[in-house]
Amino acid sequence: MPFSPFRLGALELPNRLVMAPMTRSRAYVDGIPSTLTALYYAQRASAGLIVSEGVQPSAAGKGYMDTPGLHTDRQVAGWREVTDAVHAAGGRIFAQLMHVGRVGHPDNTGAIPVAPSAVRLQSQIFTPNGPQDPPTPVALTTEEAEATIGDFADAARRAIDAGFDGVELHGANGYLIHQFLSQNANLRQDRFGGSVENRIRFAVETARAVADAVGAHRVGIRISPATGSQDLVEEDAHEVYPALLAELADIGLVYLHHLAGGSAEFDGRVRALWPHALIVNDPAKADPSAASAHWLGQGADLVALGRSFLANPDLPVRLRLGAPLNEPDLSKAFGGDHTGYTDYPALALHPA
C-alpha cells in the first residue's frame, strides 16, 4: 500500500510516502536557497510528495540562522531553481510556510521576536554566538496579527510564482500558529484570545486567506496537538483541535499533516475528525516500513518520513526492495556544506 498512487488535489502522487519538512539552515545569502538546495530536493523527487523545510513568510517570521524565505523577489527566483529541478526529476513539492513567533533571537534576525502575547520562551535559541536565552517577545496588536495573516497569503502567492505545487501552513511544533492555539503563550483579550473559538481564529483566518489566495486544493496544514513543543501548554487540546479541524475542513484544505504522539486519544480520533487527505508523521516509529504499515493501516492516506529521507535520497526504492538504509549524521543536519546534505549515496542499481 505505501507504493500505491494517491490523488491529492490536482496532483497524482506515485506513492504514499511524504518527505517531511526538515530545517537545514543553508540559505546563507538573504534567505535565498542555493543551487545545492536544488540538488538536495531533486535527489529526493521519488517521494510521493516533498514538503520543504520551513520557509518564513516575512522577515519577522524568521527565528533560526540561515533559514530561507518567500517574501522577496530574489527568494522566489532561488526557489524557482529548486522547484524546476524537482519537477525535472519527476517530483512534486509544497512549501511549508513557517512563522516562528516567539522562537527567535535578535542575533539571528536583527529584531525582537513577535508573538501572540509577551510570554518568553524558556528554551534557548542557537545563535552565531552560541545558545542564548531568547528575549521576551513583542505582543502583536490585533491589526498586526491581521497583517501577519496577509503575510502568509502573500507568501503563498509567491510560492506558486516560484513553481511550488502548493503550500503547507506550519501550525505545529510551537511556532506562531500553534502559539495562538495554546493556553500559556496566548493570553490575549481580543478576538484572537481567550475562548477556544477565539484561540483557533488566527489559524482559521490564515488558512482561509491562503486558500483564497492560491486555492484550497493547494493548501495543507500541519498540527502537533499536546506535544509540549516549545513550552506550550494545551490541557484543552481535546476541545481545541476538534473545533479547529471542523473549521479547516469547511474551508476544504487539501490535507491535514498530523504529528502523532502528543495525545493517544486524539491520535485515535484524527481520522474520524478529518474528512480530507490525512498525512501522519510519527517520530516515535523510527522504522519507516513499520510506520507506514501502522498508520496506513489506521486509515491515514499518506505517511510523512523525516530522517529516513534525509539520509536516503532514494527512500521509496530502498523500501520497495527491502534494501539497507543509510543512517543520518545529525551532526551535519544544520548548516555546513554538501556533507550530510547532498552526499548520501543512492543505491547502485544495474539493469538485469
Q: Which residues are catalytic?
A: 175
The contacts of residue 248 (CB under 8 Å, 6+ apart) are 203, 204, 207, 221, 256
Instruction: Judge contact between 201 and 146, C-beta under 8 A.
Output: no
Determine how many CB atoms are found less than 10 A away from the CB of residue 315.
Answer: 24
DSSP notation for 60-119: GG--STT--BSSSHHHHHHHHHHHHHHHHTT--EEEEE---TTS--HHHHSS--EESSS-
Strands (E), 105-249: 114-115, 125-127, 130-132, 138-139, 166-171, 219-223
Instruction: Judge contact between 167 and 210, C-beta under 8 A.
Output: yes
18 bridge partner residues: 49, 304
Secondary element (H or E) of residue 52: strand 49-55
Mapping DSSP onto H, E and C, the string for 237-285 reads HHHHHHHHHHHHHHHCCCEEEEECCCCHHHHHHHHHHCCCEEEEECCCC
What is the residue type of 267? D
The contacts of residue 162 (CB under 8 Å, 6+ apart) are 70, 75, 76, 77, 79, 80, 82, 83, 95
CA dihedral over 44, 47, 53, 55, signed as positive or negative: positive
Secondary element (H or E) of residue 50: strand 49-55
